[in-house]
Each structure stands twice: as C-alpha cells, then as structure tokens.
Amino acid sequence: MDIIVCVKKIPDPEIPPAKFKLDMESKRVIPPEGIPPVINPYDEQAVELALRLKDKYGGKITVLTIDNDADTSIVKHALAMGADEGIVLADKAFEGSDSFSTSHILSQAIQKVGNFDLVLCGRQAADWDEGLVGAIIAENLSLPLVTLAEAVDVVDGKLKVKRVTLDGYQIFAVPTPAVATVSNEVGQPRLPSGWGIISASRKQIPIWKAGDLDADPSQIGAKAVRRRLVKLFIPVREKKCEIIEGETTAEASVKLAERLRKAGVI
C-alpha cells in the first residue's frame, strides 16, 4: 500500500509558558529562542499509522511538508522513523498561506507524487488547531475522507477505517485512493531507530518549488487567504484559591460539589 503523509513543523508544544511570546502587531508567534521546532505530534501519529500499514502490507511511504526555509528536519525525522521518501515544498510564493492555500499546495504535490492508495494527515496541527487541511485535500482531489481515524486495515480490497467518536467509534469501508485524518488515539509513535537516523541524515531531500507543482498562483500564499485574523493574544488566567471547610470529609465534599456547580465547572 502506497501512502502519502502530510506533516507540519510547529513550535514545540512542550515549551514552558514563559517562553511563549507573540508579536501582537504582526499577529505572529515569536519562535522561542533555543527551542527548536518539532514535527506536529498529530502528524507524527499519522506517520506511525502509515508505518503500521507498511509493516503489515508493505508499500512505500512518502512524506510531504511545506517549509519556506527549506528545512528538512521534520521530513528526516519521519524518514528515521521508517518512511521511505520525503519532499519539502518551499517557495516564497507559499508564505502567508492559510489552510485553504496550504491544502492547494499539498494537493498539487500529492498529484505530482502520483500513485498512492491513501493520504494521511494529523487530525489537526497543534499550533493553530484548525484541523482543515486533510478535509480540503480530499475535496480538492475528489477523494473519500474519513476524519479522526484510529486504525486502518484492508478488507476485501477496501480500506476499513475505525473512526473515533465522542462515545465510541464507527467503522467505514472506503475505496482507495482515500484521505484520512489521524486521531491521537493511535497512540505513541515509535522513536526513530539508530539505523533510520543514519540513513535519514545522509539522505538528500528534494525541494519542490511552486513552479514544480503546477499550482494556481491565485490559490497560494497570502493573497489567497480566505480568513482574516482579527486579534492574536495570550489570555490572562487568574488563579484563586478557596478553602472549602466542613466538619467532616463528606460535608466538605458536598460543599465543594455545590461550589463547583455554582462556578459552572460541573
């Protein structure tokens, strides 16, 4: 089974709050000094799901990312985990893209890669949490889409996709090729192996520019943005400590429950 996985580089979600800073004027996140960006953890889980399918059915995994600095680090991370090929899409024309233009760029790249049975994306990127790219790629390529996939298998020539819901799961039979966004229920992604790191770090990663993709210039970059960011800010959270008294633990528990209900927490 040949799989394409779309991955994104984001600021490390584990950075301490004190290091997270915004430029309110330009409405951008200021990259934290000394803390390198990482592969979006949800995308890393999409790579993991692709590797499980490769372990079972064989095939080839190609990893795509858009990075205007032509940074290959997260593609190499996925290769070190076990993916076969990686491509970085880098062009000044891509700068300022939103989910729609990003999806257009990725859709064009997916078509250029060609033969594939499945496209996987993380359920959302852990920086902006929009969760749109996978769905728009499916729309662009007129492919069936299953969101929040926890597991994928192959039954009778079709994909059997287990989709996570709030109170359980759904099973879909999906013809190939298809697109799925991957839920975090997939679990912990494998670590890159020593042999994978050696191979990945010495691999030449192709860089594709806008001209390589047959992309529609009106659909990419800042000029194609369809949503307007009005304000970007860090919410101020106030902490208050209130001691709930009670003669007995049971009495204090009841009072605590009443207080929490009054506060709208439960």
Partner 1 sequence: MDFELTEEQRMFRDMARKFAEQEILPTLKENERQEKFDSSIIKKMASQGLLAPHMPQEYGGLGLDYVTSAIIWEALCWASLAVTQAAMSGPIQPATNLLDAGSEQQKQKYLPPVCRGDLILSGAVVEPNAGSDSSMIETTAVRSGNHWVINGTKVFITNGEIADVVLFIAQTDKSKGLKGLASFIVERGTPGFSSKPQKGRISWRGGSEGSLRFIDIELPLENQVGETGRALRDALRGIDTARLFLAAGALGIAQSCLDASIKYAKERVQFGKPIGGHQLIQEIIAEMATKIEAARWLIYRAADLKSRGIRHIKEMSYAKYFATETALWITSQAVKIHGSFGTFDDYPVGHHYQDAITATILGGTTQMHQLTIGQQLLEMAAFR
Given the rule CB under 8 A, which residues bind partner 1? 73, 76-77, 80, 188, 191-198, 200-202
Nearer to partner 1, 201 or 218 (CB): 201
Nearer to partner 1, 202 or 262 (CB): 202
What is the pairing mode between strands 9-10 and 38-39?
antiparallel
What's the closest the beta carbon of residue 197 comes to partner 1, in angstroms? 5
Q: Print the SS3 string covering 75-107.
A: HHHHHHHCCCEEEEECCHHHCCCCHHHHHHHHH
What's the closest the beta carbon of residue 88 comes to partner 1, in angstroms? 14
Nearer to partner 1, 193 or 218 (CB): 193
Nearer to partner 1, 12 or 153 (CB): 12
What's the closest the beta carbon of residue 202 comes to partner 1, in angstroms? 8
Cis peptide before 177 (omega within 30 of 0): yes
| Cα 32 from Cα 127, distance rounded (Å) | 13
| Cα 238 from Cα 259, distance rounded (Å) | 18
What's the closest the beta carbon of residue 193 comes to partner 1, in angstroms? 5
| Cα 16 from Cα 147, distance rounded (Å) | 31
User: Which residues, in sequence order, are CB contacts of 92 under 8 Å at separation 6+?
Assistant: 68
What's the closest the beta carbon of residue 93 comes to partner 1, in angstroms? 27
Nearer to partner 1, 73 or 183 (CB): 73
What's the alpha-carbon Rg for the chain, to the nearest Å? 22
